[in-house]
Structure 1
Amino acid sequence: MSVRDLLVLGSASAVPTKARNHNGYLLRWDGHGLLFDPGEGTQRQMAHAGAAANDVTWICVTHFHGDHCLGVPGIVQRIARDGVAHPVDAAFPASGLPYWERLRHASVFRDTEVIRERPVSGEWMALDTGDAPFSLVARRLSHPVEAYGYRLEEPDGVTMLPERLAERGVRGPLVRELQEHGRVTAPDGRTVTLEECSTRRPGQKVAFVMDTRLCDGVGELADGVDMLIIESTFLDEDAALAAEYGHLTAGQAGRVAKEGGVRHLVLTHFSERYRPEDEHRFRDEAAAVFGGEVSLVHDLDRIPLPPRRVAKPRPPQ
Structure 2
Amino acid sequence: MELYFLGTGAGMPARHRNVTSIVLNLLPERGSIWFFDCGEGTQHQILRSPVKLSKSEKLFVTHLHGDHIFGLPGLLSSRSYQGGDTPFTIYGPKGIKAYVDMSLQLSQVHLDYELAIREIPSEGGVVFEDESFRVEAAPLDHRIECFGYRIVEKDLPGKLQQEKLHELGITAGPLYGRLKQGQTVKLEDGRELHGSDFVGPSIKGRTVTILGDTKPCGNSALLAEGADVLVHEATFGAEREDLAGAYDHSTTEQAARTAAEGGVGTLIMTHISSRYQGEGAERLLEEARAIHPDSWLAEDFYSHAVPRRQS
Fold match by TM threshold 0.5: yes
Structure 2 gap segments, 5+ residues each: none
Q: Spell out the pairing of 1:1-317 with structure 2 (5 A cutoff).
A: 4-30=1-27, 31-105=31-105, 107-129=107-129, 133-160=132-159, 162=161, 165=164, 169=168, 172-173=172-173, 174-185=175-186, 189=191, 191-194=193-196, 197-291=199-293, 293-306=294-307, 308-311=308-311
Aligned pair in 2 of structure 1 residues 238, 161: CA closer, same or farther (>3 Å)?
same
The one-letter amino acid paired with 1:214 is P
Aligned pair in 2 of structure 1 residues 193, 129: CA closer, same or farther (>3 Å)?
closer
- Kept in 1, the 8 Å contact 2:233–2:269? The answer is yes
SS in 2 for 1:157: coil
Shift of 1:239: 1.3
Which stretch of structure 1 is more off in the superposition, 218-227 or 155-164?
155-164
Per-residue deviation, residues 263-291 of structure 1 (Å, max 9, x unmatched):
12111110123343210122111111113
Percent identical among aligned pairs is 30
- Kept in 2, the 8 Å contact 1:209–1:229? The answer is yes
**Normalization by structure 2: what TM-score?**
0.89
Aligned length: 305
RMSD: 2.4
Distance 1:164 1:281 in 2: 53
Shift of 1:105: 4.1
Which stretch of structure 1 is more off in the superposition, 242-251 or 108-117?
108-117
Distance 1:229 1:105 in 2: 34
The one-letter amino acid paired with 1:91 is Y
Per-residue deviation, residues 36-88 of structure 1 (Å, max 9, x unmatched):
11111100100100223202111111101111111001101112333421111
Aligned pair in 2 of structure 1 residues 115, 244: CA closer, same or farther (>3 Å)?
same
Shift of 1:254: 1.0
Structure 1 gap segments, 5+ residues each: 312-317
- Kept in 1, the 8 Å contact 2:86–2:113? The answer is no
Distance 1:51 1:64 in 2: 24
The one-letter amino acid paired with 1:217 is N
- Kept in 1, the 8 Å contact 2:160–2:180? The answer is no
- Kept in 2, the 8 Å contact 1:250–1:286? The answer is yes
